[in-house]
């Protein structure tokens, strides 16, 4: 069945809007529940109109079946692009969860109304810090630059999934956990030494109340270590956010 119920330029703009909408739904800040869905869709449509004339188009599908497949392709590419940005926030959240668990902050967990997940106070703090850094380095603009590069690497109407860097995707996911562990290791090491010291103290002084002494000690040591680790953490996050356009192109090379 031919797709002749709307002009070809409208078909192109719609495919562009599908990819942009999926990317904004999956991306941080844009994908927040605080931003209403109609606003995100309206923003995607506006970007599609603005970017449409300069976006390369491989081929506009001529049949309804191929057009439906093209819609699915654009949605998948948009979701993958948004996931590529979310990975950085996953790093911060995972590291904060590891540190908060060792500090005993899991006892003071809370339900995040945006994700409906149980998070520690430290996770919320680090996620808020990452969001502020993302906005400070103009991360929204960098994300849009990455999307523009994605349209060049994977034109609208192209083959289903050519050039998808599966190896790059695996490396990116692996690097996520490596980066999270790197962020957490200095503080985890200090807390581990505190546990060893408390264990030796308990063997030496059996009457020692480990909970009364260890809990405030680990909290104080954890926050002190966090204050030392924050400056390099901020530098690392700034570097990751500024590399967004390059990393998105690498993912879809």
* Residue boundaries of the structural domains of the chain: 8-251
Look at residues 120, 130, 114 and name the one whose alpha carbon lies nearest to residue 33: 114
Residue linked to tokens 């999934």: 161
C-alpha of 7 from chain center: 36
pLDDT at 5: 46
Q: What is the DSSP string of 177-237?
A: HHHHHHHHHHHHHHHHHHHHHHHHHHHH-TT--HHHHHHHHHHHHHHHHHHHHHHHHHHHH
pLDDT at 92: 85
> pLDDT tens digits, residue range 60-79?
777 777 888 888 888 888 88
Separation CA 22–CA 48 (nearest Å): 12
Report yes or no: 77 and 55 within 8 Å, Cβ to Cβ.
no
Separation CA 112–CA 110 (nearest Å): 6
Helix/strand/coil for 143 = helix
Is the whole model's pTM more than 0.85, yes or no? Answer: no
Task: Return per-residue pLDDT of the chain as tens, 253 residues.
Answer: 445 545 557 777 888 888 888 888 888 877 777 777 788 778 878 887 777 777 777 777 777 778 888 888 888 888 888 888 888 888 888 888 888 777 777 666 665 555 556 677 788 888 888 889 988 888 888 888 888 888 887 777 776 655 555 566 677 667 767 777 777 777 778 778 887 887 787 777 777 777 777 777 887 887 888 888 888 888 888 888 888 877 777 766 6
pLDDT at 69: 83
Q: CB atoms < 10 A from the CB of 38, how many?
A: 8
């Amino acid at each position: 069945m031919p797709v002749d119920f709307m002009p070809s330029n409208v078909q192109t703009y719609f495919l562009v809007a599908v990819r942009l909408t999926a990317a904004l739904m999956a991306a941080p800040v844009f994908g927040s529940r605080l931003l209403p869905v109609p606003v995100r869709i309206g923003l995607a449509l506006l970007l599609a109109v603005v970017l449409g004339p300069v976006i390369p188009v491989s081929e506009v599908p001529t049949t309804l079946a191929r057009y439906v497949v093209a819609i699915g392709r654009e949605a998948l590419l948009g979701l993958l692009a948004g996931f590529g940005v979310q990975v950085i926030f996953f790093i911060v959240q995972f590291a904060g969860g590891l540190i908060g668990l060792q500090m005993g902050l899991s006892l003071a967990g809370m339900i995040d109304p945006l994700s409906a997940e149980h998070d520690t106070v430290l996770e919320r703090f680090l996620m808020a810090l990452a969001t502020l850094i993302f906005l400070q380095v103009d991360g929204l603009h960098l994300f849009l630059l990455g999307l523009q590069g994605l349209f060049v690497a994977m034109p609208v109407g192209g083959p289903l999934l050519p050039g998808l860097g599966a190896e790059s995707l695996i490396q990116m996911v692996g690097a996520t956990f490596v980066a999270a562990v790197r962020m957490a290791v200095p503080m985890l090491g200090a807390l581990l030494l505190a546990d060893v010291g408390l264990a030796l103290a308990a063997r030496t002084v059996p009457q020692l109340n480990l909970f009364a002494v260890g809990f405030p000690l680990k909290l104080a040591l954890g926050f002190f270590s966090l204050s030392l680790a924050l400056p390099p953490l901020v530098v690392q996050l700034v570097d990751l956010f500024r590399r967004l356009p390059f990393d998105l192109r690498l993912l879809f090379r």
